[in-house]
Amino acid sequence: MVKLMANAWAKAKGANAKKEEPVVEKRDLRAHYADLFDRKRERTQAIRCALVGKENTAKTGTAVDLALQHLKKVGKKGAGVAIFDVDNSAIQTIAANYPDHDNIFVIPLYDELDDTIFNDDNSTNYTALIDKMGHFINIVAQKCRDGEIGAVIMDGMSTFLKWCEHAMTDVLMNRSKNPVNVEDGDKFNQAEWRIRNQLFRDIANRAHQLPVDAVFFTFHLKDKKQFADVGNGQKGLMKIGEEPEWEKGTMRLFSQQLWMTRYTKKGDLAAGVKADASLDEGAWEIRASIEEMKGFNQEHLGTTHTVLSVKDGVVQWTGLPFLTWG
Protein backbone atom coordinates (compact mmCIF):
# COMPACT_ATOMS: atom_id res chain seq x y z
CA MET A 1 0.00 0.00 0.00
CA VAL A 2 2.79 2.42 0.92
CA LYS A 3 4.53 1.83 -2.41
CA LEU A 4 1.30 2.41 -4.32
CA MET A 5 0.74 5.65 -2.41
CA ALA A 6 4.27 6.82 -3.08
CA ASN A 7 3.73 6.22 -6.79
CA ALA A 8 0.47 8.18 -6.68
CA TRP A 9 2.16 11.12 -4.93
CA ALA A 10 5.09 11.13 -7.31
CA LYS A 11 2.79 11.13 -10.34
CA ALA A 12 0.59 13.88 -8.88
CA LYS A 13 3.57 16.09 -8.10
CA GLY A 14 5.06 15.57 -11.53
CA ALA A 15 8.28 14.29 -10.00
CA ASN A 16 11.00 13.77 -12.55
CA ALA A 17 13.68 12.40 -10.29
CA LYS A 18 14.34 8.75 -10.93
CA LYS A 19 14.54 6.80 -7.71
CA GLU A 20 16.73 3.78 -7.39
CA GLU A 21 14.66 0.67 -6.88
CA PRO A 22 15.91 -1.86 -4.34
CA VAL A 23 17.27 -5.09 -5.79
CA VAL A 24 14.71 -7.83 -5.26
CA GLU A 25 15.44 -11.47 -5.87
CA LYS A 26 13.19 -13.01 -8.51
CA ARG A 27 10.73 -15.59 -7.26
CA ASP A 28 9.62 -18.71 -9.01
CA LEU A 29 6.09 -17.43 -9.60
CA ARG A 30 4.98 -20.65 -11.28
CA ALA A 31 5.66 -22.60 -8.09
CA HIS A 32 4.12 -19.83 -6.01
CA TYR A 33 0.82 -19.85 -7.92
CA ALA A 34 0.79 -23.65 -8.04
CA ASP A 35 0.92 -23.61 -4.24
CA LEU A 36 -1.94 -21.12 -4.13
CA PHE A 37 -3.99 -23.28 -6.48
CA ASP A 38 -3.49 -26.36 -4.32
CA ARG A 39 -4.19 -24.59 -1.05
CA LYS A 40 -7.30 -25.82 0.71
CA ARG A 41 -9.58 -22.97 1.68
CA GLU A 42 -12.22 -23.27 4.35
CA ARG A 43 -15.73 -23.12 2.98
CA THR A 44 -16.87 -20.34 5.27
CA GLN A 45 -19.35 -17.64 4.40
CA ALA A 46 -17.27 -14.47 4.43
CA ILE A 47 -18.88 -11.53 6.18
CA ARG A 48 -18.05 -8.28 4.41
CA CYS A 49 -20.77 -6.05 5.77
CA ALA A 50 -21.41 -2.31 5.39
CA LEU A 51 -23.42 -0.51 8.06
CA VAL A 52 -24.73 2.81 6.76
CA GLY A 53 -26.54 5.53 8.68
CA LYS A 54 -26.61 9.04 10.08
CA GLU A 55 -24.65 9.89 13.22
CA ASN A 56 -25.76 8.13 16.40
CA THR A 57 -27.57 5.24 14.75
CA ALA A 58 -25.73 2.42 16.56
CA LYS A 59 -23.56 1.44 13.58
CA THR A 60 -20.50 0.68 15.69
CA GLY A 61 -22.45 -1.09 18.41
CA THR A 62 -24.29 -3.25 15.90
CA ALA A 63 -21.02 -4.18 14.16
CA VAL A 64 -19.40 -5.16 17.47
CA ASP A 65 -22.47 -7.15 18.50
CA LEU A 66 -22.54 -9.06 15.19
CA ALA A 67 -18.78 -9.71 15.38
CA LEU A 68 -18.95 -11.15 18.91
CA GLN A 69 -22.06 -13.11 17.98
CA HIS A 70 -20.30 -14.69 15.01
CA LEU A 71 -17.13 -15.55 16.94
CA LYS A 72 -19.16 -17.26 19.63
CA LYS A 73 -21.13 -19.29 17.08
CA VAL A 74 -18.06 -20.57 15.22
CA GLY A 75 -16.19 -21.45 18.41
CA LYS A 76 -13.73 -18.56 18.33
CA LYS A 77 -15.03 -16.78 21.41
CA GLY A 78 -11.48 -16.13 22.63
CA ALA A 79 -10.42 -14.40 19.42
CA GLY A 80 -10.28 -10.63 19.45
CA VAL A 81 -12.15 -7.91 17.59
CA ALA A 82 -9.96 -5.14 16.15
CA ILE A 83 -11.60 -1.75 15.57
CA PHE A 84 -9.96 0.89 13.37
CA ASP A 85 -11.28 3.99 15.13
CA VAL A 86 -11.23 6.56 12.32
CA ASP A 87 -13.96 8.73 13.87
CA ASN A 88 -12.34 8.71 17.32
CA SER A 89 -15.65 7.64 18.84
CA ALA A 90 -15.48 3.84 19.04
CA ILE A 91 -13.53 3.97 22.30
CA GLN A 92 -16.50 5.59 24.04
CA THR A 93 -18.92 3.00 22.65
CA ILE A 94 -16.74 0.13 23.86
CA ALA A 95 -16.07 1.65 27.28
CA ALA A 96 -19.78 2.24 27.89
CA ASN A 97 -21.21 -1.00 26.51
CA TYR A 98 -18.44 -3.62 26.67
CA PRO A 99 -16.42 -2.78 29.81
CA ASP A 100 -15.68 -6.42 30.60
CA HIS A 101 -14.54 -7.49 27.13
CA ASP A 102 -10.75 -7.65 27.16
CA ASN A 103 -10.62 -8.99 23.62
CA ILE A 104 -11.90 -5.84 21.88
CA PHE A 105 -8.94 -3.80 20.63
CA VAL A 106 -9.58 -0.19 19.60
CA ILE A 107 -6.85 1.16 17.33
CA PRO A 108 -6.52 4.95 17.68
CA LEU A 109 -5.45 6.52 14.40
CA TYR A 110 -5.83 10.26 14.96
CA ASP A 111 -3.75 10.25 18.12
CA GLU A 112 -2.64 13.59 19.60
CA LEU A 113 0.38 11.87 21.14
CA ASP A 114 1.63 10.62 17.77
CA ASP A 115 3.83 13.39 16.37
CA THR A 116 4.41 11.49 13.11
CA ILE A 117 0.97 12.53 11.82
CA PHE A 118 1.50 16.27 12.30
CA ASN A 119 3.44 18.81 10.26
CA ASP A 120 5.85 21.33 11.76
CA ASP A 121 3.03 23.92 11.88
CA ASN A 122 0.90 21.41 13.85
CA SER A 123 -1.46 20.81 10.92
CA THR A 124 -2.41 17.23 10.14
CA ASN A 125 -0.21 15.30 7.73
CA TYR A 126 -2.90 13.24 6.04
CA THR A 127 -0.41 11.33 3.90
CA ALA A 128 1.30 10.08 7.07
CA LEU A 129 -2.08 9.34 8.63
CA ILE A 130 -3.12 7.15 5.68
CA ASP A 131 0.28 5.42 5.74
CA LYS A 132 -0.25 4.76 9.45
CA MET A 133 -3.55 3.06 8.70
CA GLY A 134 -1.82 0.85 6.16
CA HIS A 135 0.83 -0.18 8.67
CA PHE A 136 -1.83 -1.09 11.25
CA ILE A 137 -3.59 -3.21 8.62
CA ASN A 138 -0.30 -5.11 8.20
CA ILE A 139 -0.13 -5.72 11.95
CA VAL A 140 -3.77 -6.81 12.17
CA ALA A 141 -3.37 -9.10 9.15
CA GLN A 142 -0.61 -11.01 10.92
CA LYS A 143 -2.67 -11.27 14.10
CA CYS A 144 -5.55 -12.63 12.00
CA ARG A 145 -3.23 -15.30 10.57
CA ASP A 146 -2.08 -16.16 14.10
CA GLY A 147 -5.68 -16.56 15.28
CA GLU A 148 -5.49 -13.66 17.74
CA ILE A 149 -8.01 -11.55 15.80
CA GLY A 150 -11.28 -13.07 14.58
CA ALA A 151 -13.14 -10.00 13.29
CA VAL A 152 -12.24 -6.49 12.12
CA ILE A 153 -14.31 -3.30 12.11
CA MET A 154 -13.32 -0.36 9.89
CA ASP A 155 -15.23 2.30 11.79
CA GLY A 156 -15.75 5.69 10.15
CA MET A 157 -14.87 5.04 6.51
CA SER A 158 -16.65 8.20 5.36
CA THR A 159 -14.22 10.18 7.51
CA PHE A 160 -11.39 8.19 5.97
CA LEU A 161 -12.61 9.26 2.52
CA LYS A 162 -12.23 12.86 3.74
CA TRP A 163 -8.69 12.08 4.86
CA CYS A 164 -7.93 10.91 1.32
CA GLU A 165 -9.41 14.11 -0.07
CA HIS A 166 -7.28 16.25 2.27
CA ALA A 167 -4.17 14.28 1.27
CA MET A 168 -5.01 14.78 -2.41
CA THR A 169 -5.53 18.51 -1.82
CA ASP A 170 -2.19 18.89 -0.04
CA VAL A 171 -0.37 17.19 -2.89
CA LEU A 172 -2.06 19.12 -5.69
CA MET A 173 -1.62 22.48 -3.95
CA ASN A 174 2.10 21.88 -3.44
CA ARG A 175 3.10 20.22 -6.70
CA SER A 176 5.78 22.03 -8.69
CA LYS A 177 3.83 22.12 -11.97
CA ASN A 178 0.37 23.71 -12.22
CA PRO A 179 -0.47 23.72 -8.50
CA VAL A 180 -4.14 23.92 -7.61
CA ASN A 181 -5.10 26.94 -5.52
CA VAL A 182 -8.31 26.01 -3.74
CA GLU A 183 -8.46 29.35 -1.93
CA ASP A 184 -8.66 31.13 -5.31
CA GLY A 185 -11.51 28.90 -6.42
CA ASP A 186 -9.57 26.34 -8.43
CA LYS A 187 -11.45 23.08 -8.94
CA PHE A 188 -10.12 19.55 -9.22
CA ASN A 189 -10.54 17.79 -12.54
CA GLN A 190 -11.63 14.20 -12.98
CA ALA A 191 -8.09 12.87 -13.28
CA GLU A 192 -7.07 14.59 -10.05
CA TRP A 193 -10.03 13.15 -8.14
CA ARG A 194 -8.71 9.70 -9.06
CA ILE A 195 -5.86 10.28 -6.60
CA ARG A 196 -8.33 10.46 -3.72
CA ASN A 197 -10.29 7.50 -5.02
CA GLN A 198 -7.19 5.34 -5.43
CA LEU A 199 -6.00 6.10 -1.89
CA PHE A 200 -9.41 5.11 -0.54
CA ARG A 201 -9.62 1.95 -2.64
CA ASP A 202 -6.12 0.80 -1.63
CA ILE A 203 -7.08 0.74 2.06
CA ALA A 204 -10.65 -0.50 1.55
CA ASN A 205 -9.50 -3.36 -0.67
CA ARG A 206 -6.77 -4.39 1.74
CA ALA A 207 -9.22 -4.40 4.64
CA HIS A 208 -11.65 -6.43 2.54
CA GLN A 209 -8.96 -9.04 1.85
CA LEU A 210 -7.86 -9.51 5.46
CA PRO A 211 -7.49 -13.24 6.29
CA VAL A 212 -10.46 -13.32 8.64
CA ASP A 213 -14.12 -14.38 8.44
CA ALA A 214 -15.72 -11.06 9.32
CA VAL A 215 -14.91 -7.49 8.31
CA PHE A 216 -17.43 -4.71 8.98
CA PHE A 217 -17.31 -1.20 7.51
CA THR A 218 -19.33 1.77 8.81
CA PHE A 219 -20.31 4.75 6.66
CA HIS A 220 -22.28 7.93 7.19
CA LEU A 221 -25.27 8.91 5.10
CA LYS A 222 -25.29 12.23 3.28
CA ASP A 223 -28.15 14.19 1.78
CA LYS A 224 -28.82 13.58 -1.89
CA LYS A 225 -29.77 16.83 -3.61
CA GLN A 226 -30.75 18.05 -7.03
CA PHE A 227 -31.93 21.33 -8.55
CA ALA A 228 -35.70 21.71 -8.51
CA ASP A 229 -38.32 24.45 -8.70
CA VAL A 230 -38.63 26.33 -5.43
CA GLY A 231 -41.30 28.77 -6.64
CA ASN A 232 -41.47 32.05 -8.55
CA GLY A 233 -39.61 30.50 -11.44
CA GLN A 234 -36.54 29.97 -9.28
CA LYS A 235 -34.50 26.79 -8.97
CA GLY A 236 -32.55 25.65 -5.96
CA LEU A 237 -30.92 22.61 -4.45
CA MET A 238 -33.45 20.44 -2.68
CA LYS A 239 -33.00 17.26 -0.68
CA ILE A 240 -34.51 14.31 -2.54
CA GLY A 241 -33.15 11.51 -0.40
CA GLU A 242 -30.00 10.13 1.19
CA GLU A 243 -27.03 8.14 -0.05
CA PRO A 244 -23.92 6.59 1.52
CA GLU A 245 -20.90 8.85 1.81
CA TRP A 246 -18.46 6.54 0.07
CA GLU A 247 -16.38 6.43 -3.09
CA LYS A 248 -18.30 5.41 -6.18
CA GLY A 249 -18.01 1.67 -6.65
CA THR A 250 -17.40 0.96 -2.96
CA MET A 251 -20.63 -1.01 -2.63
CA ARG A 252 -19.16 -3.77 -4.81
CA LEU A 253 -16.97 -4.74 -1.86
CA PHE A 254 -19.88 -5.80 0.33
CA SER A 255 -21.91 -8.98 0.50
CA GLN A 256 -24.15 -7.51 3.19
CA GLN A 257 -25.58 -4.04 3.76
CA LEU A 258 -27.47 -2.81 6.82
CA TRP A 259 -29.00 0.66 6.76
CA MET A 260 -29.46 2.09 10.24
CA THR A 261 -32.22 4.64 10.90
CA ARG A 262 -33.51 6.48 13.94
CA TYR A 263 -37.28 6.72 14.52
CA THR A 264 -39.32 9.04 16.74
CA LYS A 265 -43.02 9.77 16.96
CA LYS A 266 -42.90 12.85 14.71
CA GLY A 267 -39.56 12.37 12.97
CA ASP A 268 -37.19 15.05 11.71
CA LEU A 269 -36.68 14.99 7.95
CA ALA A 270 -33.78 17.44 8.00
CA ALA A 271 -31.89 15.26 10.50
CA GLY A 272 -32.72 12.00 8.74
CA VAL A 273 -35.00 10.83 11.56
CA LYS A 274 -38.10 8.99 10.37
CA ALA A 275 -41.57 9.19 11.90
CA ASP A 276 -43.53 6.36 13.50
CA ALA A 277 -46.82 7.51 15.02
CA SER A 278 -47.04 4.32 17.10
CA LEU A 279 -44.10 5.41 19.27
CA ASP A 280 -44.77 7.22 22.53
CA GLU A 281 -43.83 10.87 22.89
CA GLY A 282 -40.16 11.07 23.90
CA ALA A 283 -39.47 7.46 22.97
CA TRP A 284 -37.20 6.55 20.06
CA GLU A 285 -35.80 3.51 18.28
CA ILE A 286 -32.97 2.59 15.96
CA ARG A 287 -33.86 0.08 13.27
CA ALA A 288 -31.76 -1.85 10.78
CA SER A 289 -33.01 -2.41 7.24
CA ILE A 290 -31.36 -5.37 5.53
CA GLU A 291 -30.63 -4.02 2.05
CA GLU A 292 -28.25 -6.71 0.81
CA MET A 293 -27.57 -10.22 2.06
CA LYS A 294 -25.66 -12.67 -0.12
CA GLY A 295 -25.28 -16.31 0.87
CA PHE A 296 -26.86 -16.98 4.25
CA ASN A 297 -29.79 -15.00 5.73
CA GLN A 298 -31.42 -14.25 2.40
CA GLU A 299 -34.84 -14.84 3.94
CA HIS A 300 -34.31 -11.59 5.85
CA LEU A 301 -33.52 -9.49 2.77
CA GLY A 302 -35.74 -6.40 2.63
CA THR A 303 -36.85 -6.64 6.25
CA THR A 304 -36.45 -4.05 9.01
CA HIS A 305 -35.74 -4.80 12.68
CA THR A 306 -35.42 -2.76 15.87
CA VAL A 307 -31.92 -3.05 17.35
CA LEU A 308 -32.25 -0.49 20.14
CA SER A 309 -35.18 1.23 21.84
CA VAL A 310 -35.42 3.93 24.49
CA LYS A 311 -38.61 4.53 26.48
CA ASP A 312 -39.02 6.39 29.77
CA GLY A 313 -35.24 6.57 30.06
CA VAL A 314 -34.81 2.80 29.81
CA VAL A 315 -32.50 1.54 27.07
CA GLN A 316 -33.15 -1.90 25.61
CA TRP A 317 -30.72 -3.53 23.21
CA THR A 318 -32.18 -6.16 20.90
CA GLY A 319 -29.51 -6.44 18.23
CA LEU A 320 -29.82 -8.82 15.31
CA PRO A 321 -29.37 -12.26 16.92
CA PHE A 322 -31.04 -14.10 14.03
CA LEU A 323 -28.26 -13.19 11.57
CA THR A 324 -25.88 -16.15 11.42
CA TRP A 325 -23.20 -17.19 8.96
CA GLY A 326 -22.05 -20.77 8.57
Do 284 and 262 contact (CB within 8 A), yes or no?
A: yes
- Which 8-state DSSP code applies to residue 52? E
* Percent of the chain as helix, strand, coil, to the nearest 5: 35, 30, 35
Q: Return the CA Rg of the chain.
A: 22
pLDDT per residue of the chain (326 residues) written in tens, 0 to 9: 333 333 433 444 444 445 455 555 666 788 888 887 887 666 555 899 999 999 999 999 999 999 999 999 888 888 999 999 999 889 999 999 998 888 999 998 988 888 899 989 888 999 999 999 999 999 999 999 999 999 999 999 999 999 998 888 876 666 656 666 655 555 666 677 788 889 999 999 999 999 999 999 999 988 777 777 777 777 777 777 788 888 888 888 899 999 999 999 999 988 889 999 999 999 999 999 999 998 888 999 999 999 999 999 999 999 999 998 76
First to last CA, the chain: 31
Q: How far is CA 225 from the centre of its chain?
A: 23
Helix (H, G, I), strand (E, B) or coil at 29: helix
Do 137 and 69 contact (CB within 8 A), yes or no?
A: no
CA nearest to 218, candidates 199, 245, 241: 245
Cα 128 to Cα 121, 170, 173, 193, 323: the distances in Å are 15, 12, 17, 19, 38
Domains of the chain with bracketed CATH: 44-224+234-239+251-257 (3.40.50)
Q: Containing H/E element for 111?
A: none
